[in-house]
Structure 1
Amino acid sequence: MKDVAVLWDFSFFAVAIPAVIFAGISKGGFGSGAAFAASSILALVLTPGEALGLMLPLLMLIDFATLRPYWRKWHWPSARLLLIGGVPGVVIGALVYRMTNDDVIRFLIGAMSLLFVIWQIARAWGVLKISSRPLPDSVGLIVGATSGFTSFVSHAGGPPSTMYMLSLKLSKTEYQANTVFVFWIINVLKAVAYGILGIFTLDLLLVNLALAPFALLGAWLGVKAHNLVPEKPFYATTYVLLVLTGTKLIFDALT
């Protein structure tokens, strides 16, 4: 645990406020996939557990703000499979967190950051192609478990589930509703596990209250930026941030 004073230091908020606003912009205007970059950034100035614990309530707040418009518009068969698989994924993530140390979690967050960038580049270059046929239910369960695990240890559960849902040729609304609904439930499960593991502390929750307006501001800016800011510059910036923070976290973990 960092010194409590660090959480209320100007230098901490100089990092945390832009990171939280960025997460809100990502989830509010460009899909939720890149929002976990905020956790990677915060893990540079906090312990990994504190970074994850600080971001989870803020991500849940942003999700809650966007849940109502998509209520019951999800594709239930695929959402159900992702949730069934997600539960054991969260449990495995909790066990890994409990049995390892900060450096292992720091390494996992850094690795997820770099893998996310590699995955996006591979898709853009056509190296990684989406299946032209719907993937079977068994893949949905495996993907759900993978998403639950990666979401628990780094808030990066989006890529595995995205590959599965895109293969189903869901409508834009069904896809977005699935994403919001499934990860809202997974985040609730994570919150319970984080509480049991002692990741949440009173100091972190108080800092959450201070940062909550910036999370909502970011979500509002994301909605406004959706039709004004091209996706390519936004994601290019995201990839640079993830490569830099991911590399630094892996270096710190190994040294």
Structure 2
Amino acid sequence: MSLAYIVLGVFILFAYTAEAMTGFGSIVIAISLGALLFPIEWLQAVLVPLNICMTGFLTWRHRRHIDGRLLLRLIMPFMLVGTLAGFWLQPYLGGDGLKLAFAVLILWFSGRELWRLRGNTAIRVKPLWWSRGVITLAGITHGLFASGGPLLVYGLAATALDKARFRATLIVVWFSLNSLLTVLLLMQGRIQQSWWALAAYLPLIPLGIWLGERFHHQVDEARFRVWIYRILALAGCGLMLASVRRLWMA
């Protein structure tokens, strides 16, 4: 295994630790950083199946904290429609220019929220149509890049979920949608070409879960929100660097 694959393993471990801690971030962080070394299309075929292994375990473990009403009435219907639309649009809209715009959006949102938290400004309650629209866009970005977390967090920013319910509810979203994406990737034959990488990185999942669980219980509610937006900012920076690099080399 070359140095690049070892470095990718470090990125994956960090990303899965972040998701076990906050409920999102594993794929967007790993793709954002891993895209500096490997094609995004190959990374998706490795990271999406790995993610369902982790989120499947965490969904069962934290099932009592899942907000079923929010999940079934608001999140899943619009995320599912958006994900299918984004996957269908991937051959047409999956370019690096769109990834760069997505990275800018992530940085804008995370920076704005960190500034708001620093000034202790209250979140304005958004109308239902606005939340539905943002969550649908989150589904589209998940179908395009397997990275719907940033916009979904944005769409849920005004909800009153505590950190346990926030994490558990997001985890079951990723388990459901990434299971669907895994089936679609299998139908395209992309996962079959990367089975050896899946096997190599699979042992990182229990380690990431153990680390993320420890950090989750050690961080209070206020710092938890700050960590979420810091992780988003890091993911946005990584995705921006990867997109600019690919556009420069094109």
Distance 1:248 1:172, change over 3 A: closer
Q: Find the aligned partners of 2:77 and 2:21 in 1 and give their Cα distance.
A: 28
Identity of aligned residues (%): 18
Residue of 71, 74, 83 corresponding to 1:90: 83
Secondary structure of the residue aligned to 1:32 is coil
In the TM superposition, residue 236 of structure 1 has moved relative to its aligned partner by 5.3
Asked whether 1:12 is paired with 2:17, we answer no
2:70 is matched with 78
Indicate if the aligned counterparts of 1:34 and 1:238 stay in contact, CA closer than 8 A.
no
The alignment of Structure 1 onto Structure 2 pairs a total of residues equal to 242
Give the partner amino acid of 2:52: M
Q: How large is the RMSD of aligned CA atoms in angstroms?
A: 3.1
Distance 1:149 1:18, change over 3 A: same
2:61 is matched with 69
Residue of 234, 242, 247 corresponding to 2:241: 247
2:159 is matched with 168
Q: Find the aligned partners of 2:182 and 2:239 in 1 and give their Cα distance.
A: 25
Q: Find the aligned partners of 1:114 and 1:66 in 2 and give their Cα distance.
A: 30
Asked whether 1:144 is paired with 2:138, we answer no
Give a deviation string over 1:177-213, Cα, whole Å, max 9, x none: 221122221112222222233332x231221111011
Q: Find the aligned partners of 1:139 and 1:217 in 2 and give their Cα distance.
A: 38
Indicate if the aligned counterparts of 1:25 and 1:222 stay in contact, CA closer than 8 A.
yes
Distance 1:185 1:44, change over 3 A: same
Residue of 14, 17, 24 corresponding to 2:16: 24
Give the partner amino acid of 1:124: L
Distance 1:244 1:47, change over 3 A: closer
Asked whether 1:52 is paired with 2:31, we answer no
Give a deviation string over 1:55-98, Cα, whole Å, max 9, x none: 11111122112111332532233212211112221122112213
Q: Find the aligned partners of 1:181 and 1:130 in 2 and give their Cα distance.
A: 28
Indicate if the aligned counterparts of 2:24 and 2:167 stay in contact, CA closer than 8 A.
no
1:218 is matched with 208
Secondary structure of the residue aligned to 1:167 is coil
1:6 is matched with none
Q: Find the aligned partners of 2:22 and 2:79 in 1 and give their Cα distance.
A: 23
Deviates more, 1:124-133 or 1:43-52: 124-133
TM-score, with structure 1 as normaliser: 0.79
Indicate if the aligned counterparts of 1:135 and 1:164 stay in contact, CA closer than 8 A.
no
Q: Find the aligned partners of 2:238 and 2:178 in 1 and give their Cα distance.
A: 26
Asked whether 1:190 is paired with 2:184, we answer no
1:115 is matched with 105
In structure 2, the gaps of 5 or more residues are none
In the TM superposition, residue 34 of structure 1 has moved relative to its aligned partner by 6.2
Q: Find the aligned partners of 2:201 and 2:194 in 1 and give their Cα distance.
A: 10
Give the partner amino acid of 2:188: L
